């Protein structure tokens, strides 16, 4: 079963930052949290992962709270192509045998 909690849906205006929260209160101390997104009917796309420090790459930033019980994925300037379902994954004790929840459906509005 998925070990994370995410809001089912969010809207974001084009050009604004999209902040997607995730609760992973049972994450193990040495496990990374992973973020993927899935554009309609395509395979999930890897976005970013992190352990305890904040991470940034060309796609997004990941902010992890100090207690590691939650994180926020930030898309700094959302575009219409960012409309997708975003999944936060806590793989605790399963390696990368990922258990996906239902994710957050992000809609970027023109």
Partner 1 sequence: ETGVTQSPTHLIKTRGQQVTLRCSSQSGHNTVSWYQQALGQGPQFIFQYYREEENGRGNFPPRFSGLQFPNYSSELNVNALELDDSALYLCASSLTGYGEQYFGPGTRLTVT
Q: Which spans of this chain sit near partner 1 (rule: CB under 8 A)?
A: 2, 32, 34, 36, 41-46, 49, 85, 87, 94-103
Rounded to the nearest whole angstrom, what is the least distance from the CB of residue 101 to partner 1 in the complex?
6
Rounded to the nearest whole angstrom, what is the least distance from the CB of residue 15 to partner 1 in the complex?
28
Q: Which is nearer to partner 1, 2 or 63 (CB)?
A: 2
Rounded to the nearest whole angstrom, what is the least distance from the CB of residue 24 to partner 1 in the complex?
15
Q: Which is nearer to partner 1, 29 or 110 (CB)?
A: 29
Q: Which residues lie below 8 Å from residue 76, measured CB to CB, with a gap of 6+?
A: 17, 60, 61
């Amino acid at each position: 079963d998925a070990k994370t909690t995410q809001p089912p849906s969010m809207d974001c205006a084009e050009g604004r930052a999209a902040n997607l929260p995730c609760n992973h209160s049972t994450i193990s101390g040495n496990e990374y949290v992973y973020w993927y997104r899935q554009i309609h009917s395509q395979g999930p796309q890897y976005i970013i992962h992190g352990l305890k420090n904040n991470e940034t790459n060309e796609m997004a930033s990941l902010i992890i709270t100090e207690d590691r019980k939650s994180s926020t994925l930030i898309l700094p300037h959302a575009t219409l192509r960012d409309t997708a379902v975003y999944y936060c994954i806590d793989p605790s004790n399963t390696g990368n045998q990922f258990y996906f929840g239902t994710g957050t459906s992000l809609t970027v509005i023109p």
